[in-house]
Amino acid sequence: EVQLVESGGVVVQPGGSLRLSCAASGFTFDNYTMHWVRQAPGQGLEWVSLISWNGDSTNYADSLKDRFTISRDNSKNSLFLQINSLRIEDTAFYYCAKGLYYRVLTGPLDYWGQGALVTVSS
């Protein structure tokens, strides 16, 4: 059974930083592109970033690329998202998601974690 479990959701002040983690199990982690998607309370889904199965390729939403960094550790079946210079508008649930296709960079997201809540507030 595929499982994705996010952690690292916190309350943080504007200007601060945090690192989200996602622990993956139930599939061969280093064969799939992984994604982060966020959802502000009561709002729609916003794709944030992807990283290829081997970590060689990354992509970001244009509005976020300067402050967000995605990474992965295939030896630990883990995905990460570093967010710097946090803003009020970064308040959201952050979901980790698995790409559908074997060793294909872009594709639909077939499994999602439960999400980690990041609250940016002074």
Partner 1 sequence: DIQMTQSPSSLSASVGDRVTITCRASQGISNYLAWYQQKPGEVPKFLIYAASALQSGVPSRFSASGSGADFTLTISGLRPDDVATYYCQKYNSAPLTFGGGTKVEIK
Q: Does 27 bind partner 1 (CB under 8 A)?
A: no
Q: Does 100 bind partner 1 (CB under 8 A)?
A: yes
Rg over CA atoms, the chain: 14
Q: Min. distance of Cβ 39 from partner 1 in angstroms?
A: 8
Q: Min. distance of Cβ 6 from partner 1 in angstroms?
A: 11
Q: Does 62 bind partner 1 (CB under 8 A)?
A: yes
Q: Min. distance of Cβ 120 from partner 1 in angstroms?
A: 22
Residue 51 makes CB contacts below 8 A (sequence gap 6+) with 33, 34, 35, 57, 58, 70, 71, 72, 79
Of 25 and 76, CB closest to partner 1? 25
Q: Does 50 bind partner 1 (CB under 8 A)?
A: yes
Beta strand pairing call for 58-60 and 45-51: antiparallel
Beta strand pairing call for 45-51 and 32-39: antiparallel
Pick from 1, 13, 41, 44: which binds partner 1 (CB under 8 A)? Answer: 44
